[in-house]
Amino acid sequence: MTEIPSWYLGFAAEIIAHLPRDIDEQQVLAWVQNPGALEQALSTVLKGGTTAVPAPSGISRDLKNDQSAEGWRLVEDVTEPAEISGEVIQVRTLTEDGGVDLFGEEVVEKVQAIESRLGQRHAEFFLDHPEQIPEEYQKYMLVFPGTIWFGTDNNHQVPCLTYRQSEWELIFGILEGGLEDRDLIVQPKID
C-alpha cells in the first residue's frame, strides 16, 4: 500500500479543523451518500473554483416530517435506494394489479405486497427538488407507500405529493380509503 505523505495528512487535518460549523446538513448528508459528488465539489474548490457543486440526488437519513410527534407509529419505512432522481422513477396504479374497489385492510395488504416501493424520504427529496418531478405527473397524486404510518385515527397513512397552486405539497393519505386511478404509486425504475 502507498504511504500517505505527511504534508497531505497535515492538510487533511487542517481542513477538518477549519470546516465551518454551519454547513447545510442536507448537503453534507447528500455528500456522505454520494462520495463522488463530494470529491467533485472539493476538486472544484481546491482547483480554483469559487463554489461547491451540490449533489441533488441523495435522500436524507432523517424524516423532515416525522409524524411520531403527532402520536403516529411508524409501521414500515423503506429508505433504499439512497440515490434518486426523476430519471430513475416509474409510476403505476394499484388498479393495475386488480386493486379496483378495494377498501380497508385489503388496500394496506395490497400496497405492502408491492416489492419495489419508495418512501417518505424519497417524497421529501422530490419536495425539495420539484424540478426533478416530470411535469406530466402534476395532474396526479404521487403516493410513496414505502413509508407507512399508523395514525391516531386508527388508519394507515402514507406520504403523498400533490400539485396545488403551482407547487408540490406533502400530505398523508389514508390507505384504508382506497387508491384511485389518479393516485400513482412511485417506484424506482425496474430494468
Which pLDDT belongs to residue 112? 82
- Is 0.95 surpassed by the pTM of this model? no
Place of cell 479543523: 17
41 vs 26, 77, 87, CA distance in Å? 15, 31, 22
- Per DSSP, what are the bridge partners of residue 164? 167
pLDDT band of 36, cuts 50, 70, 90: low
pLDDT at 148 over 60: yes
| Between 147 and 108, the higher pLDDT residue | 147
Which pLDDT belongs to residue 90? 84
- Rounded to an integer, the average pLDDT of 42-64 is 62
| Between 145 and 1, the higher pLDDT residue | 145
H/E segment holding residue 154: none
Q: What is the pLDDT of residues 81-140, one digit of tens each?
A: 888 888 888 888 876 655 556 667 777 788 888 888 899 999 999 999 999 999 999 999
Dihedral, 152, 107, 82, 89 alpha carbons, nearest 10 = -130
CB 36 within 8 A of CB 26: no
Output the nine-digit C-alpha cell for 75.
Answer: 409501521
% of the chain beyond a pLDDT of 70: 82
